[in-house]
Chain A
Amino acid sequence: MAKQKSLKSVFSAGLFKQNPVFVQFLGMCPTLAVTGSVENALGMGAGVVFVLVVANFVVSLIRNYVPREVRIPIYIVIIASLVTILEMFMKAFVPDLAASLGTFLSLIVVNCLILGRAEAFASNNKPLSSIFDGLGMALGFTGGLVLIAFFRELLGAGTVLGMQIIPADYQISILVQAAGAFLVFGILVSQVNKIRLARMSESEVA
């Protein structure tokens, strides 16, 4: 029973309390670059789910055999191999998505979220809880990306997943351009901070 609860808390930490996008600010480059449309955000999220879960699992399996001095290069090789598999897979089956993610598909290698979880969690936890940690973090990352992409696509292009919702005359096209990513992300972070600050002061009073 205690074990189950800990798995659940490991999983939900990534979703909310330790959300990689809004709380830890890990992997900000793709956060801003691929959130021009919800479709791209979902594609990037799916890629990160695959790489992070498998990388966490593999790192956790070999955690007792890797000398501490060379662990970072080994983790990088594991992650880079997984990303290469993902790249080949996406180019073969969803070439349009792969093209619109562009270089950022390869740049999952240097996404600090993945190396960070390998180092901070998987390198000293059991395989099963590492999988849950990876899943929670990656889904939290995907959720953050989709939230940003939703606002950018809805207000900037008037669409959600390609469906026209706001007519062309009322769109704020700067939001889908590069500059708008900073604005939308900045506003969302400030609102998340507001909620967190309110929670913190509540718990202090209580």
Chain B
Amino acid sequence: MELIAIAFGAIFVNNVVLKQFYGLCPFLGVSTKKSSALSMGAAVTFVITLSAIIAHLLYTLVLEPYDITYLSTIVFILVIASFVQLVEMFIKRFSAPLYSALGVYLPLITTNCAVLGVAIDATVNKTKIFGDLDPTVLHVAIYAFGISIGYALVIFLFSAIREEMDAYPIKKNWEGIPIALITAFIMAMIFVGFGGIV
């Protein structure tokens, strides 16, 4: 039950893009086509979930016992950057179709603040998310997976709306980013409605 609440909260209530404002650059940049939004969503899901697990293990097994938690920002960004490189090399070596679908998005993910944001939230700022509960690896994994599903869901829905919107004339000064922001505003209003559930 607890795990379901964590997952639901992560996907809808605290939606990573619309509520927490993580990962907006790719959200607005990549979401012009449904296919690229799906690939981005898949790549992000993979990287966020695994890097949050790695960050949690590092934090509880290394940083906390040796009392060097002030180094967590540096450690996490280095681990995430090298992890993304590793994933890229791995996919390139073993799966050509997967690489052609995700390859170009992987380097972009290093600077996606959702990855570092979730890693920090799940460790340094864990009371913000888990309250009094001391999160285990399972809790962190479920939370990170929920967050990334929320990301993939929103970026896909958003790209579908933007594809439709291309067919209609828009005033010149509203084209591109401004109209995308207004669309995101309406989506965010809808997601506010989930707030009462958990």
Chain A contacts to B: CB under 8 angstroms: 25-26, 28-30, 32-33, 73, 76-77, 80-81, 83-84, 87-88, 102-103, 106-107, 109-112, 115, 174, 177-183, 185-187, 189-191, 193-194, 197
Q: Report B138 CB to chain A, min CB distance, Å.
A: 22
Cβ-defined contact, B73 with A87, below 8 A: yes
Cβ-defined contact, B24 with A110, below 8 A: no
User: Chain A: interface secondary structure?
Assistant: helix
B165 at the interface (CB under 8 A from A): no
**Per-residue interface assignment for chain B, residues 57 to 86, with 1 indicating a CB less than 8 Å from any chain A CB and 0 otherwise:** 000000000000011111001100100000
- The closest CB in chain B to the CB of A87 belongs to B73
Residues of A within 8 A of B117 (CB): 29, 103, 107
- The closest CB in chain B to the CB of A112 belongs to B111
Cβ-defined contact, B128 with A84, below 8 A: no
The answer to whether residues A112 and B192 also contact, given A103-B120, A189-B178, A189-B181 and a CB cut-off of 8 A, is no
The answer to whether residues A73 and B182 also contact, given A25-B28, A106-B116, A178-B188 and a CB cut-off of 8 A, is no
Q: Add 15 more A-B contacts to A77-B74, A193-B175 (CB < 8 A).
A: A80-B77, A84-B74, A87-B70, A102-B125, A102-B128, A106-B124, A109-B73, A178-B21, A178-B188, A179-B189, A181-B21, A182-B185, A183-B185, A190-B174, A193-B178
The answer to whether residues A29 and B24 also contact, given A107-B116, A110-B116, A182-B188 and a CB cut-off of 8 A, is yes
25 A-B contacts (beta carbon < 8 Å):
A25-B25, A25-B28, A28-B25, A33-B21, A73-B78, A76-B77, A77-B74, A83-B73, A87-B70, A103-B121, A106-B116, A107-B22, A107-B113, A107-B120, A109-B116, A110-B110, A115-B111, A174-B189, A178-B19, A178-B188, A181-B21, A182-B182, A185-B181, A193-B178, A194-B173
Pick from B25, B111, B125, B188: contact of A179, CB under 8 Å:
B188
Cβ-defined contact, A84 with B73, below 8 A: yes
Residues of B within 8 A of A193 (CB): 172-175, 178
The answer to whether residues A197 and B78 also contact, given A102-B128, A112-B111, A186-B178 and a CB cut-off of 8 A, is no
B residues 106-160 touching A (CB-CB < 8 Å)? 110-113, 116-117, 120-121, 124-125, 128
CA distance A26 to B28 in the complex (A): 11
Residues of B within 8 A of A183 (CB): 181-182, 185
Residues of B within 8 A of A32 (CB): 21, 24
Residues of A within 8 A of B96 (CB): none
Cβ-defined contact, A29 with B70, below 8 A: no
B5 at the interface (CB under 8 A from A): no
Q: Report B179 CB to chain A, min CB distance, Å.
A: 7
Q: Report A64 CB to chain B, min CB distance, Å.
A: 24
Residues of B within 8 A of A181 (CB): 21
Residues of B within 8 A of A109 (CB): 73, 77, 116
Cβ-defined contact, A189 with B25, below 8 A: no
CA distance A58 to B70 in the complex (A): 22
Q: Report B147 CB to chain A, min CB distance, Å.
A: 13
CA distance A102 to B125 in the complex (A): 8
- The closest CB in chain A to the CB of B172 belongs to A197
Cβ-defined contact, A186 with B181, below 8 A: yes
The answer to whether residues A80 and B78 also contact, given A112-B111, A174-B189 and a CB cut-off of 8 A, is yes
Residues of A within 8 A of B19 (CB): 178
B177 at the interface (CB under 8 A from A): yes
CA distance A177 to B189 in the complex (A): 10
**Per-residue interface assignment for chain B, residues 161 to 198, with 1 indicating a CB less than 8 Å from any chain A CB and 0 otherwise:** 00000000000111101111110110011011000000
In order of increasing CB-CB distance, the 3 nearest A-B pairs are A186-B181, A179-B188, A182-B185
Residues of A within 8 A of B175 (CB): 193
- The closest CB in chain B to the CB of A186 belongs to B181
CA distance A83 to B76 in the complex (A): 13
